[in-house]
Structure 1
């Protein structure tokens, strides 16, 4: 038996579903990015282009209601917090692009460049979905290991936020117990999580906060790939 929102509760999405979701997430992130330059001519041209492309490809049907409302919001009218939150969807798009073999793995403390995800996926291409039947996902074991690493990193960051200080994080991962955990040895310093090459308790506080947001988005996307819930926004990335 699985608890609600737990990976494995539902059938895993197929490759074509992952491709569509990655393109949707890239579109949401792109719309969010336009808000900071809403008065620029480039942004005014790009917004209708995104909307027209979503309709022409049928990807508008893959948008969740909240995503559709956000993408359609006129430039200059998007709430600042909503724009900031939506911008993080690029991290979820990265996970799906990685799973589709279209992006190399990134360190847990490095932001993805949204352009490095969107354009290779076919963002704004009229034929972006013409060959979606040829899309392939990495194997389940590889995806599950990726999820185990996202969970471990997310847990450590949350734990540090509650109880700052050094711990033997490597031992926690090795012992597991409450969940399957995994970690890349390159992500550790002195057996604890590293941020920008320093042990977490020596890292800049603002960078730790940023890494929590990165981890949260990547954890959600990896859980979705593992069958946590067919509705992306319903996935609970609890640590």
Structure 2
């Protein structure tokens, strides 16, 4: 359910700027190791130079500033984990910008493929921001609705651990709009790792839920439902 205020989706350049910030955070989170390593130090300096060149300071949230600029090797495990998982939300922003196809619902994305699509550490990132365009409202809505349905089913399973045929939850129009064949197993339940949810491995279910949470947040933010601050978007089911 949307918040009680006028819905104002972020404009395309803002989506691109937010994507660049998330790409920087993911890069730092995935590379925050040995501060004595010259290669790590060089990468960190390049990352700082890159993000400063993009004029995206207004988009960087305080906790993201800390992740990007705090001394190398200083990030907590929680910061590194959150930043790394954030690439799943970034994948949805990259899709919304027309830079990537819609990701498989039960698979983690390749973080390097996603950040390469945003021209991480490259000057071409400025061109992506300047030429940014977002997909249609129909596509963004289909993304939002599909991720909501998947998220609801995963949380329902956590509560009752039982089978549910959710074929009536999933509109074929959403799948067609997103270019997806199906997210369902042959018995009508959600497919995870190629099998029905009730037969999937615990690790696969946990991964799918983490993936879905981050992507759902990005989809809600793209719709403008809860204001402009990305990290403040509530991911409800």
Match of 2:46 in 1: 49
Would the aligned equivalents of 2:23 and 2:118 in 1 still touch at CA under 8 Å?
A: no
RMSD over aligned CA atoms reads 2.1
Specify which of 228, 231, 236 is matched with residue 229 of structure 2. 231
Q: Following the alignment from structure 2 to structure 1, what is the Cα–Cα distance between the partners of residues 190 and 174?
A: 12
Q: CA distance change for structure 1 residues 9 and 154 in 2, over 3 Å: closer, same or farther?
A: farther
- Aligned equivalents of 1:125, 1:71: Cα separation in 2: 17
Aligned to 1:11: 8
Q: How many angstroms apart in 2 are the aligned matches of 1:197 and 1:30?
A: 30
Q: What are the ranges of 5 or more consecutive residues in structure 2 without an aligned counterpart? A: none
29-38 or 95-104, which deviates more: 29-38
Shift of 1:56: 2.2
Unaligned runs of 5+ in 1: 175-180
Q: Using CA pairs under 8 Å that are at least 6 residues apart, name the structure with larger relative contact order, 1 or 2.
A: 1
TM-score by structure 1 length? 0.89
CA contact (8 A) 1:2 1:9 kept: no
Aligned counterpart, 1:162: 159
Instruction: Give the C-alpha shift of residue 127 in structure 1.
Output: 4.3
**Residues in 1 aligned to 2:202 and 2:144: alpha-carbon distance in whole angstroms:** 25
**SS of the residue 2:190 aligns to:** strand
CA distance change for structure 1 residues 233 and 13 in 2, over 3 Å: closer, same or farther? same
In structure 1, the partner of 2:183 is 187
The more displaced of 40-49 and 145-154 is: 40-49
Number of positions where the alignment pairs a residue of Structure 1 with one of Structure 2: 230
> Which residue in 2 is equivalent to 1:104?
101
Q: How does 1:64-213 map to 2 (within 5 A)?
A: 64-130=61-127, 132-173=129-170, 186-189=182-185, 190-213=187-210
The alpha carbon displacement at 1:171 in A equals: 2.7
TM-score, length of structure 2 as denominator length? 0.90
Measure the CA separation in 2 of the matches of 1:91 and 1:143. 16
